[in-house]
Structure formats: structure tokens, C-alpha cells
Amino acid sequence: MIRIREAVIVEGKYDKIKLSNFIDGLIITTDGFGIFKDKEKQRLIRHLANTRGILVLTDSDGAGFVIRSFLKGAVPPGTVKHAYIPDIPGKERRKDKPSKEGKLGVEGISEELLREAIARSGADCEISSVRTAREITKADLYELGLTGGPHAAETRDRLKQRLGLPQKMSTNALLAVLNCIMTRQELEEMMKEQVMLC
């Protein structure tokens, strides 16, 4: 596994699935050009850029570069790194025909080439055979009153507001972000403070 501090930004769910096989870190999809209209996701990406930095890994076709350029302009300077995949002709196995430009995208590139692209990007990463830190789990969210209780939604909303996260963010997305920006102990302390403020 490669543990990456930055949030990795990819175009689609198949790219995310591919990277999840060897990346220990937060992976966010732009849903292609959907990112242009999705203000909540833009805010999330800006927040991640400010707190962790982001690593953009899009396809090497024209659409990938448009998305890459948009993201670069949407976050503060110095908070984005870029990983570039090589131009390789071909088509992904799940598709009937090649893409418009006839190049393999992130999902079609070998893991070895993706690892090389990430290494060249300057991302803050280390190779690990196991995940060392104990992750925040759904059970932790339940125990801390963030899920399952009568006021869980309100409690989550207050936490998201305090962290500057989008209110429409799903519980699963919140869990992924929390695991990137804090430890279980830090979350517990924050929740205790929040209870005292209420």
C-alpha cells in the first residue's frame, strides 16, 4: 500500500476503484465534468487542499486536462500537486470501444505506471504493508452520537460546520474526510467540546 497524505482527485468511480487497490488515503471523484456545477464538492476539495493538499490524477486526454486546469484554479496556489499518466493507446476492458482520443485512462493504466506517476508528482507518501493508525469507524461515529441517535443528524451538521465541510456531505464521505484530517482521539475530544458548548 502507498499511504498518501494528500487527497487524491480522480475523474470517475472506476478510477477510484483502481487506486483503492493500492492507495491508503482519501480518494475523491469529480464525476467527470460534474465538478463544474457541484459547488458542495468544490468546497470539499478546497477544504482538503487547505488542510491536506490535493493530488490530481486525471486521464491524459483533453477532458482530463480541462478538469485538471479547473481544479488548479479552484484551490489556493501551492496546495495542488499533479500526477500525469503516459499516453497509451487502447481501451479499458469494460468498454465496448476506445475513448474519443483512443487513449487508456487511469482505470486502464497498470498499477506500476500509476505508482511511478504518483512518485514523480512529489506527493507526501510512504510505502506501507499495513495500515498502522487505527481508523475512525462507523461504530465510533455511533458511539460519539454522530449516527443512529435521535439528534445524530444535527450533531453531524454542527461538526461539519465546525470543520468547514459541506452540509450535504454523506455520512460515508464525512467518515473518509475525518480519517484524513484527525485521529479517533482528536474526534472524541472535539465531540466532548461540542457537547460542552451546547
pLDDT digits (tens, 9 = 90+) for 131-152: 455 688 999 999 999 999 899 9
What is the residue-averaged pLDDT of the chain?
Answer: 88
What is residue 133's predicted lDDT score, i.e. its pLDDT? 55
Q: Which residues contact 120 (CB under 8 A, 6 or more apart)?
A: 83, 84
Q: What is the 3-state secondary structure (H, E, C) of 112-154?
A: HHHHHHHHHHCCCEEECCCCCCCCCCHHHHHHCCCCCCCCHHH
Q: Which residues contact 35 (CB under 8 A, 6 or more apart)?
A: 41, 42, 45, 67, 70, 71
The more confident residue out of 133 and 15 is: 15
Length of the chain: 198
The more confident residue out of 33 and 98 is: 33
What is residue 130's predicted lDDT score, i.e. its pLDDT? 46
d(CA 163, CA 169): 12
Phi, psi of 19 (to 5 degrees): -70, -30
What is residue 40's predicted lDDT score, i.e. its pLDDT? 92
What is residue 131's predicted lDDT score, i.e. its pLDDT? 46
d(CA 80, CA 21): 23
pLDDT at 46 over 60: yes
